[in-house]
Amino acid sequence: MSDSQYIFEADDSNFESVVISASQRQPVLVDFWAEWCAPCRSLMPLLAGLAEEYRGEFILAKVNSDENQALSAQFGVRSLPTVKLFKNGVPVDEFMGALPESAVRAFIERHIAHESDKLHAAAMQAYRQNDPETAVDLLEKAHAMEPGKSRITIDLASVLAGSGDPARAEEILNELPDYERSSGEAAGLLATLEFAREAAGLPDQATLEAGAKAGDLASLYQLALLHISQSDFTEAMEKLLLIIQKDRGYEDELGRKTLLKLFAVLGEDPLVEQYRKRMTSLLF
């Protein structure tokens, strides 16, 4: 038995308690090894060092495969070393061979719940339970701990936007790298915030419809913004296509650029593919 509180010898007699039960509380890394295996001897001190470094964020269990052949067979071990990670009583990930420290560390990090992750999960649970104030507080704390985690940043911005603080939401999103702001969920959220800002203080719908009917493209564009604010995306895209049809270059291709922003907001919505094809046919 190891002297460390984070490292254990596991065998047929104690596997249930050392691995299966323990993995209900934290990840358990199970190292299947043998005395004759040279790569095992190089990997074992690396795993032991990481177990000490992480101080209980995961537990290391060592299984001598020669002495516990039934366990090795039960979990499909075909080569040594094989390292399996258990969570909630079952193996969820594995690697084989003596990987370098950077690769082993990356493997472990995929499964470790850091304090910021726990705060993040609690925040989203609070938000689903209609408690946005608690959600924002927890997400702000998680973001302060790990500002580089884009998932936390985006969820914080989304909750802020939905809770009536669009300025702070936009400030948070602008902390993301350019490549993350310009695509995916972040781009859609930024576009949503921009649309909301542009839609503030628009004339009433009847006035805009009269201007659009008279051929005023500014009114037509504002009418599209109004429809977006009302979540009437089909009508909004129809108006933007009409701007492209009437004057493709209007206000530096405002119709096309606004459609692209709206596509980012809608994401996987089937309307996107439909209207992207229509936009392309008008442009080309």
Q: Counting beta carbons within 10 angstroms of the beta carbon of residue 30, is it exposed (0 to 12), middle (13 to 18) or buried (19 or more)?
A: buried
Cβ pair 64, 1 in contact under 8 A:
no
Strands 7-9 and 90-96, how do they pair?
A: unpaired
Among the listed residues 10, 29, 30, 37, the single catalytic one is: 37
Neighbouring CB atoms inside 10 A of 67's CB total 13
Distance CA 262, CA 65 (A): 57
Neighbouring CB atoms inside 10 A of 198's CB total 16
Annotation says 124 is catalytic: no
Annotation says 40 is catalytic: yes
Cβ pair 80, 39 in contact under 8 A:
yes
Neighbouring CB atoms inside 10 A of 76's CB total 10
Among the listed residues 7, 22, 28, 40, the single catalytic one is: 40
Cβ pair 178, 255 in contact under 8 A:
no
N-to-C CA span, the chain:
72
Distance CA 158, CA 186 (A): 9
Q: Which residues are catalytic?
A: 37, 40
